[in-house]
Structure 1
Amino acid sequence: MSDKVIDFEVPIHSLAEDYPDFVDIMYSIGFTKIKVPGMLNTVGKIINLKKGSRAMGIPLDSIARAFQERGYELKNYDE
């Protein structure tokens, strides 16, 4: 079992606090607004990966694959 677990139902703000590479991974797959100042501390507290996927039009499988390739285990990921 991996020490790195991405829960698709946890707010992205919490994931960014837990994992230093989270923001860069998200940015690399198209979540460019994640680096807008204040975004994580406002919207990021209520948006999880499932909601973010729908809002940005980025498929969940793309998100899952990006994190799995970097050694993360997935939780609450169901397409």
Structure 2
Amino acid sequence: MEEKIIDFEVPINTLAQQYPDFVDTMYSIGFTKIKVPGMLGTVGKIINLKKGSRAMGIPLETIAKAFEERGYQLKNYDK
């Protein structure tokens, strides 16, 4: 099985293309705008998880926990 790694410094568009469950995971923790048509193809190309966390007011710990629970390893995650 392929190792799943979430890098907090990679644009969310890239992560969404790499992992089919990425968008649903993000949506489930409060990133509701991620499903707005065109959002991933525009803003998603420049926003990474760290910037998105600040912009949406969702703690990095919440993001990290959600992905760890789904079997992901974390990269460039500093609390």
Q: TM-score, normalised by structure 1?
A: 0.97
Structure 1 spans left out of the alignment, 5+ residues: none
Match of 2:63 in 1: 63
Quick one: which amino acid aligns to residue 76 of structure 2? Answer: N
Match of 2:13 in 1: 13
Shift of 1:18: 0.1
2:38 is the alignment partner of 1:38: yes
> SS of the residue aligned with 1:78?
coil
Structure 2 spans left out of the alignment, 5+ residues: none
**CA RMSD of superposed structures (Å):** 0.7
Q: Between Structure 1 and Structure 2, how many residues are aligned?
A: 78
Q: TM-score, normalised by structure 2?
A: 0.97
Give per-residue Cα distances to partners, 1:20-70, cap 9 Å, x unaligned.
000000000000000000000000000000000000000000000000000
Structure 1 segments of 4+ aligned residues over 3 angstroms from their partners: none
Quick one: which amino acid aligns to residue 55 of structure 2? Answer: A
Shift of 1:14: 0.0
